[in-house]
Amino acid sequence: MDPLLDVKGLTVGFGTDDGVVQAVRGVDFEVRSGEILAIVGESGSGKSVTAMSLLKLLPPSATIEGSVDWAGESLLDASEQRMQAVRGNEIAMIFQDPLSALNPVYKVGQQIAEMVHSHRKVSKADARARAVEMLTQVGIPQPEKRVNQFPHEFSGGMRQRAMIAMGLSCEPRLIVADEPTTALDVTVQAQVLDLLVDLCHRLSTAVILITHDLGVVAGIADRVTVMYAGRVVESGSVDDVFDATAHPYTAGLLSSLPRLDGDVAAPLVPIAGQPPSMLNPPSGCSFHPRCPFAKEEAGCMTIVPTLDERRPGQLSACHRAPELIETGALLRVGAPA
């Protein structure tokens, strides 16, 4: 089956006074109809920029290259008018902080109805009815009353439910959720995420779930794409990546997760060091300054690794991947010696 969304060589730079920030450098990924793709990476790895460039929502200082193929149509070549028809209607977005992402001066119902109104020829009353229906679907109690309230009258979790209601109100084929639960209370994070995934399954809406927490990916996503410093370093099915990662960075992320089956007393090991500056990223493999396996002879410091298939459907960008997979070294990252 052809993918719904096929991104190839996506490259985004921001012109700034200090030079060009190379936020995204040749990212490839695809999303199939109805599937959930997780994009994972540390802060600054270019996840949000990738998401925003799909809908061409970046500021004018950004230059976008590569190709974004949406059901056979090239979005990067599409007119602004066409993009407006795509946004919200075919591809919807949900943002991190639902308080600031909703306009404080309009009622929640108005904001959902506005979305419906801008894509469907419906009466005001019908748009409002749709808002109530969507609030019901996302499990907000007393939707008839809530629809007339302002965002500040909602709790954090409810606001994000309202955002989800808005995102799904035009039945898009893809929803891009950029860290939808990061700003929420830990106690409601799982609920909101489950709700999103549930609804999308029911409506067979595909999801790009952006997160910096590999932990939320397991059990929710079908496939995962791991980003580091503006590049994809590994991608594959969640099972493959979790059980047999093919990249030292992913191994590092995995080792810093609390494991149910592991030694409870084992300390969590975050990856040492800081993510690099995208004004002047490291040469070769961008991860080499922090990589425990980086080796001069393998070319880690000088040659940019290509994203190659390591097992069927599982790709990674690491010069030493074959050797590290062979010896099982990646599975022991972070394990107590």
Ligand X SMILES: Nc1ncnc2c1ncn2[C@@H]1O[C@H](COP(=O)(O)OP(=O)(O)OP(=O)(O)O)[C@@H](O)[C@H]1O
Closer CB to Mg ion, 131 or 209, in the complex: 209
278 interacts with ligand X by CB under 6 A? yes
CA atoms of 203 and 205, how far apart (whole Å) = 5
Per DSSP, the three-state class of 326 is: helix
Q: Which of 10, 35, 37, 44 binds ligand X (CB under 6 A)?
A: 44
Closer CB to ligand X, 59 or 258, in the complex: 59
Other Cβ atoms within 10 Å of 86 Cβ, number? 21
135 interacts with ligand X by CB under 6 A? no
Tokens for 89? 């209607």
Bridge partners for 274 per DSSP = none
Bridge partners for 93 per DSSP = 176
274 interacts with ligand X by CB under 6 A? no
Q: CB 22 → Mg ion: shortest distance, Å?
A: 16
Residue 112 half-sphere exposure toward CB, CA atoms < 13 A:
36
End-to-end CA separation in angstroms for the chain: 45
Q: Which of 38, 40, 45, 48 binds Mg ion (CB under 5 A)?
A: 48
**What phi and psi values does residue 12 have, to the nearest 5 degrees?**
-130, 130
Q: Which of 2, 8, 9, 16 binds ligand X (CB under 6 A)?
A: 16
Q: Which of 6, 69, 114, 213 binds other proteins (CB under 8 A)?
A: 114
Residue 122 near residue 169 (C-beta atoms within 8 A): no
Binds 13, which of ligand X, other proteins, Mg ion, none (CB < 5 to 8 A, cut-off by type)? none
Residue 313 near residue 237 (C-beta atoms within 8 A): yes
* Residues near ligand X (CB under 6 A): 14, 16, 21, 23, 41, 43-49, 59, 61, 212, 278
* Residues near other proteins (CB under 8 A): 55, 57, 80, 83-89, 92-93, 95, 97, 100-107, 114-115, 118-119, 150, 152-153, 166
